[in-house]
Amino acid sequence: NEVKAVFPGSFDPITNGHLDVLRRATRLFPVVTIAVLHNARKQGKHLFTLEERLEMLSEITADMPGVRVESFGGLLVDYMRTSGSSVIVRGLRAVSDYEYELQIAHLNRQMYPQAETIFIMAATRWSYVSSSMVRELASYGADISKMVPEASARALYRKFAEQYP
């Protein structure tokens, strides 16, 4: 009976911090499914469409065996139930992530006791990297190529060139 691990998130866009957590997770679990949040209620909140995020993630993880890319809407625990997943992988950067993550983990456990949340710390050099900061920096034309995979950087530059031609 294979343990199915899920790495859920917005990935708007995927950063080197996400990628580092993902790599570490693949050493623990034979299959890790990246579950990309598609939240109709939050529409407009994401810079990239669901399709763009799925495409980026597929390209970036194409050479990583054991990594799958899917999307989900609604509650994470409902997706876990239907996909038969039992592990939620989350990343921790600093103490500031902890309270929020602890609350989500407890809420998810209350709704779906079969699921266990595990936390993985990315390498310290990614501890200051977040999708929101990368989006902001890229919007001002800053060089974000050392913080995100190449496909994310390309997509960011393309997106902001579209918005401010």
Please give the positions annotated as active site.
18, 42, 93, 131
Strands 67-72, 32-37: pairing is: parallel
What's the one-letter identity of residue 121?
M
Site for ligand COD, residues 129 to 148, rule: CB under 6 A? 129-131
User: What is the Cα–Cα distance from 56 to 143, expressed in whole angstroms?
Assistant: 19
Question: Residue 65 carries which DSSP code?
Answer: T
Under the binding rule (CB under 6 A), the answer on residue 71 touching ligand COD is no
CB of 150 to ligand COD, least distance (A): 17
Do residues 109 and 101 touch, judged by C-beta distance below 8 A?
A: no
Query: Exactly one of 60, 80, 122, 134 binds ligand COD (CB under 6 A); which one?
Result: 122
The stretch near ligand COD (CB under 6 A) out of 12-20, 24-32, 55-63, 149-157 is 12-20
Residue 135 · residue 15 · CB < 8 Å = no
Residue 79 tokens, joined:
């997706």
Does 93 bind ligand COD (CB under 6 A)? Our answer is: yes
Contact footprint for ligand COD (CB under 6 A): 8-11, 15, 17-18, 21, 37, 75-76, 90-91, 93, 97, 104, 107-108, 122, 126, 129-131
